[in-house]
Amino acid sequence: GQQVMQIPQYQHVQEGEDFTTYCNSSTTLSNIQWYKQRPGGHPVFLIQLVKSGEVKKQKRLTFQFGEAKKNSSLHITATQTTDVGTYFCAGPGGGTSYGKLTFGQGTILTVHP
């Protein structure tokens, strides 16, 4: 079935450094969603990308959807301690996962002050 892989699994940065997490799918995605989960919290929707090559920005966060619609990235500029958490991508499942979202394993971001 369709898989959504995320790398890296963990990322430790100093406050002020940049951070990027990558999401790769084994199949073409019609769209991709990004979520953030703070420690002890629940996933919160950040953004959805639909178009090939689409780039969207939310303040210091930049989201990109690959031209082939099989990969995506989330880049955070000048991280802050409030950016700590796990970032998930999620895409439509295929095969036995058809019709439902498949979440990547997530990237756990730690920001050292």
Q: How far is CA 71 from CA 13, 61, 82, 100, 101, in A?
A: 23, 17, 26, 18, 15
85 forms part of the interface with other proteins (CB under 8 A): no
Contacting range for other proteins; rule: CB under 8 A; set: 19-27, 43-51, 58-66, 73-81: 43-51
Q: Which of 16, 41, 53, 95 binds other proteins (CB under 8 A)?
A: 41
| Least gap, CB of 32 to other proteins (angstroms) | 10
90 forms part of the interface with other proteins (CB under 8 A): yes
User: Can you name the residues that pair with 57 across neighbouring β-strands?
Assistant: 62
What does DSSP say about strands 10-14 and 107-112: parallel, antiparallel, or unpaired? parallel
| Least gap, CB of 108 to other proteins (angstroms) | 10
Instruction: Give the span between the Cα atoms of 102 and 30, in whole angstroms.
Output: 13
| Residue 96 C-beta-side C-alpha neighbours within 13 Å | 2
In the complex, the residues that contact other proteins under the rule CB under 8 A are 30-31, 33, 35, 41-45, 48, 88, 90, 92-93, 96-97, 99-106
